[in-house]
Structure 1
Amino acid sequence: MAEKPIKPSVSDVTSSGPEKASVGIHGITESARYSMAEMGPKRSLQTLLKVNHVDGFDCPSCAWGDPDPDHRKIAEFCENGAKAVAWEATRKRVDAAFFAEHSVADLRERDGHWLESQGRLAQPMHLAPGATHYAPISWEDALALTADRLLGLADPNRAVFYTSGRTSNEAAFLYQLLARRLGTNNLPDCSNMCHESSGEALSATIGVGKGLITISDITDYADLIIIVGQNPGTCHPRMLSALEQAKRRGARIVAVNPLPEAGFGRYHNPQTARGLVGPGTQLADRWLPVRINGDLALFAGLNRTLVDREDSQPGSVLDHHFIDRYCDGFEAAATAWRALDWSQIETMAGLPRRLIEDCAADVLAADSVIVCWAMGLTQHRNAVATIREIVNFLLLRGNIGRPGAGPAPIRGHSNVQGDRSMGIWERMPQPFLDRIRDEFGFDPPRAHGLDTVGSIKAMRDGEVDVFMGLGGNFAAATPDTQVTETALANCALTVHVATKLNRSHLCHGTEALLLPCLGRTERDRQVSGEQFVTVEDTMAMVHSSHGRLLPGSPHLRSEVAIIADLGHALFGDDLGWRGMRDDYAVIRRHIEHVCPGFHAYEERVRQPGGFMLPRAPRDSRTFPTSTGKAQFTVNPPTAPEVPPGHLLLTTVRSHDQFNTTVYGLDDRYRGIKGGRRVVFLNRKDLRDLHLHDGDLVDLISVNPDGERRAPGFRAVRYPTPRGCAAAYYPETNVLVALDSTADTSNTPVTKSIVIRIEPSGGGASV
């Protein structure tokens, strides 16, 4: 057996402080270095010149939208997009010989970065009960085994079907159809852990659980763009070029974030000579270093300021025509704002009243305002209330339903929004299920299924026999790591459809299958010819994706083919599974009849750039709520209780990762090199805790059901707000209790974890 690689020690990590500029030459060279190492020169050119082009494939990274076809660049990708493509199109392979060399026990000792760096899964693999190694299995036997276990369930609800947000529309539609044909709505997905709070808040207040803006709203129309709890420089780098265009037009940008982020500093656009050799464009005009989970208090303070000024100068601040015609609940909300205590707002927000009122002046000077946010808002206990308060803020001045204005939840995974449109949700509304019945001739189950947290609890409690994951890294993405891994091990069968080996594949049930699938970069040829798939970006644009590379192995099958073949193994050809596998246009014809907004799907998605789904509040200021109007809501500011000597921890991504995928051990923008087990601490907190920069510490979370410990982190002095700390995800998921979830949305609370810090016993690896 090959010798294990030596893991770097936390003591080897170096820290140089945060950068104040983003992208530029360094972004280009890093993209090229990573791509060449993984793909080689020819393959790099074949892939990178086709990313996000009309005749190419959709980037498998984030869900940021594409410019219209006439304005796309030759290199229409960012550094992290290049890494995501290279990660998928790598020349390295994980085949039968690899699994013969490495036992499951051996692989469990490796970190996630090493596992995914080994290459593409090359053939179906089976872990028999009691076996120590995965071994090859034929596709026919793998599908027959899965079908046998599913048909043998005492109750269909003893199966769980999880989905990653990288799954195409066609595969997602088939997947939910298969689960419901089996008889269950247990369809958890990554939305449950990221923007579920956004969907809940937006659905309740404006009647649509999606954002309302387009890229042109940012580049051409918005006067003020407020970016809250989002780090676009790392998580959505292509957004920076849109922000630069807005800045050149005269828009102002306000960044609300506990940590300083390079993406809000000077942006060196790699597509222009000015960006590469000039001073760059300063993006943020104002940075509000809000306390972790202080966003609700901040927006409540902004709303109080607007109402107070309207009270003193009637008719000069609020859009009463919009409020009276399109909204309900204003008087109750205004009464609540007038009663707020400023000292409470300042304490919770971690900002002085003066800074909040200065930001309100930016608002008053702007005709059109956009508020963008990401998981820095959605993963708190009060996340839904915070987003409702942002909707209040937009409603006060009529910033919904006109150009350059509206709410903008910025999604992560490239098709996470499309998955929901296709029916991947444990609580799809009855009209959707009725259309499934009418289209396919069976009555789908009506009882709500399990979300992600509910699925973990059910597996933990022995109530699930089969877990199937369509992409993703369930064990690494979810909270309460030890509980989740034990829960997966409680299953009789775990099945993972994946492109690469990851941690979840080693947290297996009594029996396990790994089913390797095509990536978005690869050609997908079926009986009727070469296929394309479709995705929906964060702006509700639906467009096609055409793979260009030859499949990485002759044993790979598309996600669509795997699901369709499993459907046929389960039910025969009752719903036309083979026809849908052979020609994806057949799936799209079914989607037309079932999914709202997808009429003439095939014709419209073949147009350059695709088509936009309808969103009534944007399109016609129509609000499909219970009253037919947008809803003002009352959201009293709240904050977690942090005992003396404790801190509030938020989780963040490094610049060298995307979600659970870690491309490298550096975080260039935060000045970290050589490791990930670091905790960022304010210098005064370090002093009060009798710690020094570089000390090795353990993080201990405080939960009603007991403490959880993450050992061996290096303390790094960093400009965080007093009383606040930050560390990388998923290394800190172990600290998040399974019962610690957001009100209403049930999203794990990974952004406000109460912790204490102790000197470490030492020895932890990165």
Structure 2
Amino acid sequence: MSKKPEGRIAPYAHPSGGWGALKQVVVNLVHEKVAGGNYKTLLKQNQPDGFDCPGCAWPDREHASTFEFCENGVKAVAAEATSKRVRPAFFAAHTVTSLLTQSDYELEQHGRLTDPMVYDAASDRYQPITWDDAFALIARHLKALPDPDQAAFYTSGRTGNEAAFLFQLFARMVGTNNFPDCSNMCHEPTSRGLPGTVGIGKGTVTLDDFEHTDTLLIFGQNPATNHPRMMNELRDCARRGATIVSINPLRERGLERFTSPAHALEMLTGATTTIGTMFVQPKLAGDFALIKAVAKRLVERDDEALASGQPSVLDREFIARHTSGFEAFEADLRAESWDVLLEESGVPKLQIDQLTGIFIRGRNVISTWGMGLTQHKNALKTIQMLSNLMMMRGQIGRQGAGLCPVRGHSNVQGDRTMGIEEKPTKAFLDRLQRVFDFEPPRAHGLDTVDSIQAMLDGRVKVFFAMGGNFAMATPDTPLTFRALQNCDLTVHVATKLNRSHLIMGKQALILPTLGRTEIDLQNGVPQGVTVEDSMSMVHLSYGINQPASANLLSETMIVARLAHATLGSDKVDWLGLGANYAEIRELIEKVFDDFHDFNARVARPGGFHLRVAAREREWRTPSGRAQFVPHAVDRDTPIHRARARHGERLMVLMTARSHDQYNTTIYGLDDRYRGVFGLRRVVFINQDDLALLGLKDGEYVDLISVWEDDVTRRADRFRLVQYDIPRGCLGAYFPETNGLVPLHSTADGAGTPTSKSIPVLLERSAEE
């Protein structure tokens, strides 16, 4: 007898936002058992006298606006403000083996961690440990390493600037540049690609530019789920008449219609705003070819305009004054085959013509992108090709136009700015040397994928994670598990229990920390932490809730006490810095010129904007100009080779978040806008592919990754959901499908896992 289907599939016909979002807020507050007095927390998000939202990195209007509703922000705050607790008695009652049988969602629901814990292998349980003993244990392991490069220091994007700065300083004083971080798994192609074209690995726009743009191209992004506050900006742009194009294999509901919960009249009248005016659905890994096709068509349209006596559609003044390499780039476009571009992009020529026309008509164009562009083998080339396209019409470095990478976690960009970088520049290391009087390590360190391989090889023995859920966020899950288990010591700083805490080295620690919503008192004085959002605004944030436990330490103090225990305080007064974050900011401004007068500037409402040279048309490239970079279409990728072996039955899988999750944190089991309720093991598939494979909507299949090694990677029993997705393409949620991503299937030149283009085969599941 076949197993009864779990959950339900029910297409969502309502606009994004609206009453559906408010309903989920109530559900989450009740589910998390948020104490009544903490409801005020929701009104303090991103306010001058409140805290920075611990969720996404989308900026705020002057960080001082009236309440701006964000469903996923509420979920993140409710998760921190929950009254549920994971005390030592919880661990006494549960072995690690028993906890491993629970789902990621179930682990999250136990609540806030309250005390430092150490793993006891004999009992298979975590047991309490004092903070002093925990730091002493870590220090012993670090000091015993024959080579400091046998340690790796991971940073998640939730870490504030002050803790991140101390963390990188401590690790470099230990003697390593091994800084795997969450940026390695998301926007690394942005960070590595943009310096080659515009001279800096950050976006060139601010939120004010959205008030002046008339055209938005949104690549590989689902704002309604991943950056809900962005929807209000898109709403305002659409109501002004801006053209908004969604370029994504999935036609996401949030970019169709939106009702803003922040506008009472819309809520009361049921009014909606149409967001997207055009939807382009390239096949997975087809964005590079699509963008190059638009650039080629732009050259052809320019030829047509000049031949008919019309003005050039290229910004030839910008190209001549500000750029280098256009002639070679133009020649490469002219030589490119239309047949190749159409086949590789999966987008019809007519739609490419329409998209090119929209781009030409746009006076002020902003291009935004998420991980839909960055988690592919050709991701770095794609980011550079998008830069090329924008430069062709001078759409960088002026009001209402520019490049806008939209990063995920709240301070992932700030952590990189603070020096969480496995490939530091000589100038940065020289400055550290002058300010702190030590010789920093000069050799490049390990990124995330390389750290996993080094743990597998026994080259990394100590793994320290500042937040995150490393075991589940990373690719090739079983392999990553083995890597962590091969360590002598694993340490995780966290607010709530997750699977990484159960995949331990020979010794393991869980160190509980304050959340950003909580009051951080040091010597009786409240401390604020700073973060940098996706648009280079730096804000100061103070928590307002009482800590979940009296035995919590802040991330900053955890680093300070660990550094003191390991290195002593002869060169750096670690404990003094941990007790006064303003002193950390004074040191930051000594290392980074852009942070001059840090404490004074960040104390102003809204904080301050870090200068982005390319925004002012200052190009920090070797030529001193913005650089056009030609790239060929790669026709010999792992996907091409897999399709040559398996034919049309070969599918390409992308991983994605559901609406009820943030990164690997699972808040619930629904994906409302995609019509999935009560289940997560689903795979979205085109109806023609169902027919091709002899499968039916609602059947269960196993997914088998196709890679060029002898490793079998599979994810079993996923329910097929017929969906509007290009032929040959599939979608499924992470982290359930992360195990299908081969460890060394990464973006060329960036090392980011190719989680948006995984070649797979489907097999009908055995009936249960």
Do they superpose with TM above 0.5? yes
Aligned to 1:713: 718
What percent identity do the matched residue pairs reach? 50
Determine if the alignment matches structure 1 residue 359 to structure 2 residue 359: no
Do structure 1's residue 657 and structure 2's residue 648 form an aligned pair? no
Residue from 677, 684, 691 that aligns with 1:687: 691
CA distance in 2, matches of 1:761, 1:419: 46
Equivalent position to 1:559, from 546, 555, 559: 555
Which residue number corresponds to residue 475 of structure 1? 471
Aligned residue number for residue 622 of structure 1? 618
Q: Secondary structure at the match of 2:694?
A: coil
Per the alignment, residue 603 of structure 1 pairs with 600
Separation in 1, partners of 2:9, 2:282:
24
Which of 281, 285, 293 is the equivalent residue of 2:285? 293
Cα shift at 1:475: 0.3
Report the counterpart of residue 3 of structure 1 in structure 2.
Answer: none
CA contact (8 A) 2:35 2:82 kept: no
Q: Is the 8 A contact 2:35 2:83 kept in 1?
A: no
Give the whole-Å Cα distance in 2 for the aligned partners of 1:702 and 1:261: 28
CA contact (8 A) 1:35 1:44 kept: no
Query: Which residue of 121, 124, 128 corresponds with 2:113?
Result: 121
Match of 2:513 in 1: 517
Q: C-alpha distance in 2, partners of 1:504/1:280?
A: 42
2:366 is matched with: 370
Equivalences for residues 176-255 of structure 1 within 5 A: 176-218=168-210, 220-255=211-246
Give the aligned partner of residue 13 of structure 1: 7
Q: CA deviation at 1:45?
A: 2.0
The residue number in structure 2 matching 1:674 is: 678
**1:592 lines up with 2:582 in the alignment:** no
Matched with 1:739 is 744
Deviation at 1:413, TM superposition (A): 0.3
Q: Which residue does the alignment assign to 1:64?
A: 58
1:69 shift after superposition? 4.7
- Between the aligned partners of 2:608 and 2:380, the Cα distance in structure 1 is 30
Contact kept in structure 2, 1:211 and 1:407, CA below 8 Å: yes
Structure 1 letter corresponding to 2:387? V
Whether contact under 8 Å (1:229, 1:377) holds in the other structure is yes
Is 1:730 the counterpart of 2:735 in the alignment? yes
1:107-118 map, 5 Å:
107-118=99-110
Does structure 1 residue 166 correspond to structure 2 residue 170? Answer: no
Give yes or no for the alignment of 1:395 onto 2:391: yes
Equivalent position of 2:439 in the other structure: 443
Distance 1:93 1:69, change over 3 A: closer
Distance 2:138 2:127 in 1: 16
8 Å CA contact 1:528, 1:583 repeated in 2: no
Deviation track 1:620-649 (CA, whole Å, cap 9, x = no partner) reads 211001111111011223363134111011
CA distance in 2, matches of 1:129, 1:152: 21
Aligned to 1:206, what secondary structure does the other structure show? coil
Q: Which residue of 2 aligns with 1:311?
A: 303
Deviation at 1:54, TM superposition (A): 1.1
SS across alignment from 1:731: coil
Cα distance, 1:73 vs structure 2: 2.1
The structure-2 alpha-carbon separation of the partners of 1:699 and 1:538, relative to structure 1 and needing over 3 Å to count, comes to same
Structure 1 residue 19, shift from structure 2 partner: 4.2
Q: CA deviation at 1:42?
A: 2.2
Q: Does residue 702 of structure 2 align to residue 698 of structure 1?
A: yes
- Note if contact 2:651-2:759 (Cα within 8 Å) is conserved in structure 1: yes
Deviations 1:622-680 (CA, angstroms, capped at 9, x unpaired): 10011111110112233631341110111111000000001001110010111100001
Closer/same/farther in 2, CA of residues 474 and 208 from structure 1, 3 Å limit:
same
Deviates more, 1:542-551 or 1:705-714: 705-714
Query: Using the alignment, how far apart are the partners of 2:593 and 2:189 within structure 1?
Result: 22
The residue aligned with 2:492 is 496
Alpha-carbon distance, 1:584 to partner? 0.5
Deviations 1:540-598 (A, max 9, x none): 00001100001100110000111000111111112110110110011000000112411
Tell me the distance in 1 between the aligned counterparts of 2:594 and 2:122: 49
Match of 1:87 in 2: 79
- Paired with 2:688 and 2:298, the residues of 1 have a C-alpha distance of 35
1:187 maps to amino acid: F
Is this contact kept in 2: 1:51–1:77, CA < 8 A?
no
Q: Is the 8 A contact 2:69 2:262 kept in 1?
A: no
Three-state SS of the structure 2 residue aligned to 1:49 is helix
CA displacement, residues 387-429 of structure 1 (integer Å, 9 cap, x when unaligned): 1110001000000110111111100000000000000011110
2:504 to 505, 508, 517: 508
1:278 is matched with 270
Could you tell me how far 1:437 is from its partner in structure 2? 0.8
CA contact (8 A) 1:10 1:713 kept: no
Which residue is equivalent to 2:576?
Answer: 579
Aligned equivalent of 1:453, options 442, 446, 449: 449
Are 1:102 and 2:94 an aligned pair?
yes
> Aligned equivalents of 2:165 and 2:324: distance in 1?
36
Q: Give how far 1:214 is off.
A: 1.1
Whichever residue aligns with residue 455 of structure 1, its letter is: S
Contact 1:36-1:44 at 8 Å conserved across structures: no
Q: Residue 157 of structure 1 aligns to a residue in which SS? A: helix
Q: Name the CA distance, whole Å, in 2 between partners of 1:411 and 1:528.
A: 35
Aligned residues of 1:52 and 1:59 also touching (Cα < 8 A): yes
CA distance in 2, matches of 1:101, 1:221: 58
1:346 aligns with 2:338: no
Q: 1:410 to 1:198 in 2, by over 3 A?
A: same
8 Å CA contact 2:738, 2:755 repeated in 1: yes
Distance 1:385 1:18 in 2: 36
Distance in 2 between the 1:709 and 1:670 partners? 24
Deviation at 1:18, TM superposition (A): 4.8
Q: 2:58 aligns to what SS in structure 1?
A: coil
- Deviation of 1:126 (Å): 0.4
Q: Is the 8 A contact 2:293 2:338 kept in 1?
A: yes
Deviation at 1:686, TM superposition (A): 0.6
Contact 1:299 1:390 in 2 (8 A): yes
- For residues 696-753 of structure 1, the C-alpha deviation after alignment (integer angstroms, 9 at most, x for no partner) is 1100010001331111101111111111110001100010111101100011111000
Match of 2:26 in 1: 32
Distance 2:568 2:124 in 1: 34
The answer on whether the counterparts of 1:495 and 1:512 sit within 8 Å (CA) in structure 2 is yes
Preserved contact between residue 10 and residue 714 of structure 1 (Cα < 8 Å): no
Instruction: Give 1:36 deviation, angstroms.
Output: 3.1
Q: How many residues are matched?
A: 752
| 1:40 to partner: Cα distance | 3.3
Alpha-carbon separation, structure 1, partners of 2:703 and 2:417 = 39
Match for residue 4 of structure 1? none
Counterpart of 1:101 in structure 2: which amino acid? A
